[in-house]
Amino acid sequence: MIASQIGTGGRPASGSLAQKFQSSYSATREALLEAWKAFKIRRVWFVTGLCQPVWEWVITDAIREGMLEAPGFNDPLKRQAYLQTQWTGTEMESIDPLKDAKANEVEVNAGLRKRRSIVESQGRDYDKHRREYEEEKGDFHGPGKSSFVVK
């Protein structure tokens, strides 16, 4: 009862708050997606209202105290470059990972989405992922190695 009242006022579905799902797969998935949208909005508020300002304050203070070197920091464009960040968090876990992977593949092949966007939406660093992928590809496809295939 309390979860349904909290869900009504705070936007996430009460079923997702109580982790009690009593409907079909589609209805449950829709409720989770709605809750995730609300959580993502709050995450943006948290990042813009707390994380980014604190980051800027700490870095600016460290530069002023001489703990970090930042030539040209007083120039607004250089200052912006020094303080620029990209805050990423984890993405909602997939209810059906195979469907999501196929949807991602279709979007990439149709030119609707970039691989970087997919990796970053999962809360991972694209450049690190790319390096690890290249290393792994060499491990499985190098001389005398067999590829890993899931059927």
pTM: 0.57
Answer whether residue 19 is part of any domain: no
Answer whether residue 32 is part of any domain: no
- Confidence (pLDDT) at 51: 95
- The separation between CA 123 and the C-alpha centre of its own chain, rounded to angstroms, equals 3
Per-chain mean pLDDT for the chain: 81
Answer whether residue 131 is part of any domain: yes
Q: How many CB atoms lie within 10 A of CB 105?
A: 12
Specify which of 15-29, 34-48, 59-73, 135-149 reaches the highest per-range mean pLDDT.
Answer: 59-73
Answer whether residue 100 is part of any domain: yes
* Domain total of the chain: 1
Tokens of 13: 């579905």
